[in-house]
Amino acid sequence: MQKWEYLVLISYGDLSKEDARLHILNGKSFGKDHELFYPYIKELGEQGWELVSVHDNEYYFKRPKEISN
């Protein structure tokens, strides 16, 4: 049976601008150095994360969980 891992991003600011930032990743704040939103989600896609839902400023991703033997 396929198992999944999940990731939640919370953004702040105006996402129509290139300097939009992320605020929280899986419940942990980025601190002072917030990541830029668009380059970060592009990197997530390259890591196998798939965007599955958006609700207000929350972005939900999933990817297949690697099963170690």
Higher pLDDT, 6 or 26: 6
Residue 67 above 60 pLDDT? Answer: yes
- Sorted by where each begins, the domain ranges of the chain are 4-59
CA distance 30 to 24: 6
Higher pLDDT, 10 or 63: 63
CA distance 65 to 15: 29
Higher pLDDT, 16 or 46: 46
pLDDT (tens digit per residue) in 9-44: 877 766 676 667 766 667 666 655 566 777 888 888
